[in-house]
Amino acid sequence: MDFKKINSIIIIGCILALFIAIVPVICYYFQFRNSLISSQPADWGAFGDFLSGTSGTILSFFAVLFSLVSLYFSTRIAKVIQDNEFKFNEKQSEKELKLLHQQNKPYPYLDFFKHKDLTSVVLQNSGLGTLIVTKWRIKSSDGKEYPDFHKLLDDKLTISRNDSKILFNTAENHVLAPNTEKLLLEVTPYDSHNDNFRHVQNAIRQIIMETEVIMEFEDVFSNKTTMTKDLRFFRQEKKI
């Protein structure tokens, strides 16, 4: 809305109305300038009829016209105010929605445990919102992909694992509340004094350290994200 144009229209309208009001008086003066000013009420009534019949009619038309113009600009101004208020509310809603998404954002974290009698991979949700894992897989250094650690070890582990207790989580989908966790893999011995377990555990760690976990997840608002995490944590200089 250009308020300078509105001011220009108002000024021009006032000048035009003043001109219309003065012109009949000037014309009347030049026509009857040699006549004396009458003291008769009837003459002044005729003069009033003359003015109302000339400039009065035109000014009434302009009054109606300017009323319509005023209504038009009032409507335009109201629309501009309404649009600005709508845009402001829309931006506020976007900020509130963005803040809500940030407050409910999950954060998947793979926690690794590597002790003398334990090797494990645990999925944790370290975020503030619910973590929804829609799909996850394991990719080895040779490019092969496996849906879980069970399939990985079935393919890669060539030695017997009878002395080892191995727990797998083969579920494709996981839902974790904030600050909760799920076990993906755990390797422990049946007998803590079994030397064969050390050999098996070292072999499993050797396999795992050459892989990476690819995890597709989303939050409660269906915002999708993919995380890739390699398991180099299991690399070690000396075998236990």
Would you say 204 and 230 are in contact if contact means Cβ atoms under 8 Å apart?
no
Give the Cα separation of 49 and 92 in Å (integer): 62
Number of domains in the chain: 2
Question: Is residue 239 one of the residues assigned to a domain?
Answer: no
Strands 164-168 and 211-218 come out as unpaired
Q: Which of 54, 87, 103 is a domain's end point?
A: 103
DSSP, residue by residue, 130-195: -EEEEEEEEEETTS-EESSHHHHHHHH--S--TTEEEEE---S-EEE-TT-EEEEEEEEESSTT-H
Distance CA 182, CA 110 (A): 10
Residues 152 and 67 in one domain: no
What is residue 58's predicted lDDT score, i.e. its pLDDT?
Answer: 66
pLDDT per residue as tens, the chain (240 positions): 566 766 677 677 677 766 766 766 676 666 666 666 666 677 667 666 666 666 666 667 667 767 777 777 778 778 878 888 888 777 777 877 777 777 888 999 998 888 888 999 999 999 988 999 999 999 999 999 999 999 999 999 988 888 789 999 999 899 999 999 999 999 999 876 677 888 888 899 989 989 999 999 999 888 899 999 988 776 554 433
Tell me whether residue 197 is in a domain.
Answer: yes
Indicate whether 97 and 113 sit together in one domain. no
Beta strand segments in 35-84, E: none
pLDDT at 213: 94
Instruction: Give the number of C-alpha atoms closer than 13 A to the C-alpha of residue 61, restricted to the C-beta side.
Output: 9
pLDDT at position 148: 94
117 with 31, same domain? Answer: no
Determine the length of the chain: 240
Q: Check which CATH number belongs to the domain holding 115 and give it.
A: 2.60.40
Burial of 108 (0-12, 13-18, 19+ CB in 10 A): buried
- Do the domain assignments include residue 240? no
Beta bridge partners of 119: 114, 187
